[in-house]
Amino acid sequence: MRDGGKGYDPATAVLIAALCAASAALLLVDGAKGDEDEFPTLLINGFTATHAAGSPSPFEPVLYAPNRAFAFGFLRVGPGSLDLAVVHLPSSLPLWRATPARLGDWVPPRHALLRHHPRPHHRRRPGTTTVLWQTLNAAGDTVALLNSSNLVVRRYSKPLPAWQSFDHPGDTLVAGQNFTAASPPLISSNRRFALQLGASSMALHMELYGGRARSPAYWRHTALEEPPAGNATKAPVYGRLDGRGFFGMYLDGDDGERRVDVLSFDTFAEANLAGAFFRRMTLDDDGNLRAYYWADGGGQSTKAWTAEYEAISGPCGLPTACGAYGLCVLGDEAQCQCLTTPCHAGEEETTDLCDLAGGQHVAEFDVVRRTRVTVAYKEQLPPFATNTTAAACEAACAGNCRCWGALYSGASGYCYLIDFPVETMVYDADDAKVGYFKVRKVQSQTRRGMAPGAKAATTAVLALVLVSLVAAGAYMGYRMWERKEEAA
């Protein structure tokens, strides 16, 4: 995986996670400088570190923050994945990860290397290493992990970082980290949801078909004070998690930074304890954006992350709470039911219904009609039509291969088209709320053909039967010939 730029340029590669075929173990940190040898806080030009495949711990630190609260190193994820990660040591939680684009084969005697290439004309020998992740366009002399958990690459002659992890978030923001419209979106660890920042708002999106299709929004927050409309010289808003217990949205103006919106957390009133809390905001795998704190010091201590904010309250507000074609029913406790009969809940769609030209239905589908259904994020779906009828709303979707469903509200006359695979709907005790949904037909075994394994097995059985019949026929023919000879 490459971070910025195009192509491989070893002259500017500062951090490399490589899969090395050498069987000799390398020194853990070569060229590290720190307060103590066992807690290096600075890596300098030419360092090399190796991952020990047989280590009992899933995380192997290479570099520490001066406060010892964070470390940077190798993180094993499951049986076959190895990341570079910044980890919050008290909780063992990864705050930032450089995830390789493909999995490595971590079977000895192979080793993972973390290496710095300071020489402009360094060349790696063909066949010795495979680059899994690297920074580009960021030549540096030192690598340090700050007390904020920011991993930085610096030149001796320049005070500003040549590269920093704060500019490349994963699924988490921490206190003091700016989140701008130019930043990569926050992506949940299961790659299904994204948080993006626009000119005056931030929004949560579903990532469908692995991000290959339109990403519909299901939550949006707009700054109370927006940038002046039509003024191209004004910079867009940007966000930052504040250690005092809020997420602020800001504008840069002639008088400097100006806060234009605040999302307050539960502990916002306890500002005197801000120094004892470490805070993070994470896009979790259920699609909710949450803020957490870890108390350590100042008379406060915890052994777990404590949630203090969530963008969406209640499970039925989450877009995939009951899976695809699921129905979330609110009550004392939310319950999941099936939107369709027979039940198709949880059956995710992987392709659309259109042909290559996008004009005709290429897949056969069944039609499901339900009353008393709506969607939690209806305000994010622009109405297709107003002052219409349920029949007209359904017809608008039926003839459009890009449409997966239509929602009609009899009270308002609004029609909403769902131009993405149907996810969780919400029960609403209103007979005037009508839903029309397309469900891809499951082809019969005969029509879609057998699986390759089943086809091979069937062919083998038929061949054996045919051989047996031939052998039986030959034997019977021989016995008949033999009887004729004896009779003669």
The model's pLDDT over 307-333, given as tens digits with 9 standing for 90+, comes to 999 999 989 999 999 999 999 999 888
Which residue is it, tokens 């630190």? Answer: 61
Quote the mean pLDDT of the chain: 79
Mean pLDDT of 237-259: 90
Distances (CA, A) of 455 to 445, 448, 450, 464, 469: 11, 12, 6, 14, 21
pLDDT tops 60 at residue 389: yes
Between the two ends of the chain, the Cα-to-Cα distance in Å is 86
**Residue 23, token pair as written in the block:** 């069987």
For residues 43 and 181, give the distance between their C-alpha atoms in angstroms, rounded to a whole number.
Answer: 31
pLDDT at 302: 66
Q: Parse the chain into domains and list their residue ranges.
A: 1-167, 169-313, 322-445
Which residue is it, tokens 């299961």? Answer: 190
Among the listed residues 281, 263, 272, the one whose alpha carbon sits nearest the alpha carbon of residue 300: 272
Q: Which residues contact 243 (CB under 8 A, 6 or more apart)?
A: 175, 176, 274, 275, 277, 279
For residues 119 and 297, give the distance between their C-alpha atoms in angstroms, rounded to a whole number.
Answer: 44
For residues 296 and 319, give the distance between their C-alpha atoms in angstroms, rounded to a whole number.
Answer: 35
For residues 149 and 12, give the distance between their C-alpha atoms in angstroms, rounded to a whole number.
Answer: 23
What's the pLDDT band for 139 if we cut at 50, 70, 90?
confident
- Cβ neighbour number for residue 129 with a 10 Å cutoff: 16
Distances (CA, A) of 199 to 236, 305, 342: 4, 32, 44
Cβ proximity of 338 and 409 under 8 Å: no
pLDDT at 333: 87
Distances (CA, A) of 219 to 205, 222, 282, 327, 404: 7, 10, 15, 19, 20
More confident of the two residues 479 and 394: 394
**Residue 236, token pair as written in the block:** 């867009």
pLDDT at 15: 52
- pLDDT tens profile 166-190: 999 999 999 999 999 889 999 999 9
CATH topology classification for 169-313: Agglutinin, subunit A (2.90.10)
pLDDT tops 80 at residue 378: yes
Beta strand 2-3 pairing with 129-135: parallel
- pLDDT tens profile 276-292: 689 999 999 999 999 99
Counting residues of the chain whose pLDDT is more than 70, the rounded percentage is: 69
Counting residues of the chain whose pLDDT is more than 90, the rounded percentage is: 43
**Residue 383, token pair as written in the block:** 């109405």
**Which three-class secondary structure string do you get for the chain?**
CEECCCCCCHHHCCCEEEEECCCCCCCCCCCEECCECCECCEEECCCEEEECCCCCCCEEEEEECCCCCEEEEEEEECCCEEEEEEEECCCCEEEEEECCCCCCCCCCCCEEEEECCCCCCCCCCCCCEEEEEEECCCCCCEEEECCCCCEEEECCCCCCCCEEHHHCCCCEEECCCEECCCCCCEECCCCCEEEEECCCEEEEEECCHHHCCCCCEEEEEECCCCCCCCCCCCCCCEEEEECCCEEEEEEEECCEEEEEEEEECCCCCCHHHHHHEEEEEEECCCCCEEEEEEEEECCEECCCCEEEEECCCCHHHCCCCCCCCEEEECCCCCEEEECCCCCCCCCCCCCCCECCCCCCECCCEEEEEEECEECCCHHHCCCCECCCCHHHHHHHHHCCCCCCEEEEECCCCEEEEECCCCCCEEECCCCCEEEEEEEECCCCHHHHCCCHHHHHHHHHHHHHHHHHHHHHHHHHHHHHHHHHHHHC
The sheet with strand 42-44 has its strands ordered as: 32-33, 42-44, 142-145, 151-154, 163-164
Q: How many CA atoms lie within 13 A of 112 on its CB side?
A: 27
Could you tell me how many residues make up the chain? 488
List the single range of 47-56, 113-122, 392-401 with lowest mean pLDDT: 113-122
pLDDT tops 50 at residue 121: no
Distances (CA, A) of 383 to 204, 393, 399, 407, 434: 19, 10, 17, 10, 15
What's the pLDDT band for 397 if we cut at 50, 70, 90?
very high
pLDDT tops 70 at residue 447: no
pLDDT tops 90 at residue 450: no
For residues 9 and 14, give the distance between their C-alpha atoms in angstroms, rounded to a whole number.
Answer: 10
**Residue 326, token pair as written in the block:** 């699921």
